[in-house]
Structure 1
Amino acid sequence: MSKTQTQLPTDTWIPASWQEYLQTFTDLLNKQAKSYYYKGHMRLEMAPVSFDHGQNHVVIIFAVTLFAALKGIPATGLDTTTFRKTGIQDCQPDVAYYVRERAQSIPTGTGIVNLDLYPSPDLVIEIAKTSLLDDLGTKRSLYEDLNVSEYWVVDVQNAQIIAYCIAEQGSKRIQVSQVLPGLAIALLEEALRRSREMNQSEVGAWLLSQFQQNEG
């Protein structure tokens, strides 16, 4: 590909060979950007810089990790990690989780997670400030093909979460997580709404009380 990284369009899928994608990926290593590869196309996204995106990102990670800890569910969360099927697919979701028997399936010291060697994450989350339609469309198909168990899209503008369970390379909407049984999507949405009026410590205390009530 003769174009330089600064000339390549962002937030759209463009045709590219795997080798062209890898060269672009290498060029991105020292830049704040994310990249995806799927069905002979690559997509580049500049790293989010908005307050709303960052705030939702932190609230979701805290909520999922807190719920797993209180329920005794082994979980390992990953932030903007590269998952790769060589020559076929590449993705850098905002958040990913391995849970239960897979919680320690990726050894310390791993750089890019090679999905030819390791399992796909159980839960993938994309925080959508400007990429909502693509997160609900092409990226959902990508994660279906990777056999991720569950996929959430956080609609930052509307403080909503569109959650899907994935099976047999298809997906359907859910209102309660199956990967984290008992975790209601509506409760997480309420936490996002509260984060607009409260600081995150207060939102965390509210989440803790809700999770403990539900336990009882």
Structure 2
Amino acid sequence: MNDLLTRPMINDWIIATWDQYIQQLDDLKDQCLKSYYYQGHMRVEMSPVSFDHGQDHVMIIFAVNLFIALRQIPATGLDTTTFRKSGVRECQPDVAYYLGENSRAIPSGTGIVNLDQYPAPNLVVEISRSSLLDDLGIKRSLYEDLGVREYWIVDVQKPQLFAYSVANQGSQKITTSQVLPGLEMGILEEVLQRSRQTNQAEVGHWLLERFQQD
């Protein structure tokens, strides 16, 4: 048995070699888990099960997809996809987007996205219910090193959204997206807040009108 199984592991960063990490994934392949590897540590998370997490996940994807469609931005959106730089780092963000010239970078039929072969996504999003501090901290560093251009974190508890532009392996907080020019984070926060008060059709109608005003 993998000795990592004898130690507390869910939602903790644990020292592990890459081979130990891969073995752990194989041992847990029948369970619904998300996994990360960074700087010689691994983290395994339970898949989200809360209503609010699921609702915010759907609403962020809906809002981004609507904006992309109205602005005719070439894009490929991904839901909980594994990105791997073998032996170095791995992640499974809740949402990821390839945009512009990268929108067709990953061919259909691809399983795990090999970052030694393909570029990192332009945008990644983590939906945080119990992992906010980790998403703001270690995972933020992970995505900086991964080479994404923008990183968003949705705080399900508030709800609110933190957004960072990433460049030169560092990040800076932003209020307007740079990879989706013109998309204000305040609008996305209002989408999340409105979804707590009314149904998604009404939120969608409001959002469509809001985007068309710009």
Q: Structures share a fold, TM > 0.5?
A: yes
For 1:178 and 1:190, the matched residues in 2 are separated by 19
Q: State the distance in 1 between where 2:24 and 2:191 align.
A: 37
Structure 2: 5+ residue runs without aligned partners?
none
In structure 1, the residue matched to 2:97 is: 97
Report the residue type matching 1:187 in the other structure. Answer: I
> Counterpart of 2:206?
206
- 8 Å contact kept, 1:5–1:27: no
SS of 2:69 mapped into structure 1: helix
Cα drift, residue 3 of structure 1: 3.2
Deviates more, 1:154-163 or 1:5-14: 5-14
SS where residue 84 of structure 1 aligns? strand
RMSD across aligned C-alpha pairs, in angstroms? 1.2
When residues 5 and 95 of structure 1 are mapped into structure 2, their CA distance, relative to the original with a 3 A threshold, is farther
Match of 1:109 in 2: 109
| CA–CA separation in structure 2 for the residues paired with 1:57 and 1:142 | 21
* Aligned positions of 1:144-163 closer than 5 A: 144-163=144-163
TM-score (norm 1): 0.96
CA distance in 2, matches of 1:147, 1:38: 14
**Residue matched to 2:38:** 38
Would the alpha carbon gap of residues 7 and 14 (structure 1) be closer, same or farther in structure 2, given more than 3 Å must change?
closer
* Distance of aligned partners of 1:194 and 1:23 in 2 relative to their CA distance in 1, 3 Å threshold: same
- Taking the aligned partners of 1:202 and 1:27, their CA distance within structure 2 comes to 44
The residue that corresponds to 1:73 in the other structure is 73
Q: Which residue is equivalent to 1:189?
A: 189
Give the total of aligned pairs.
214
AA partner of residue 15 (structure 1): I
Distance 1:124 1:27 in 2: 27
* Structure 2: distance between partners of 1:52 and 1:3: 35
- What whole-Å deviation, never above 9, does each CA across 1:55-105 have from its counterpart, x for those lacking one? 000000000011011001011110000000000000000000000110111
**1:6–1:52 CA distance, 2 compared to 1 (3 A):** farther
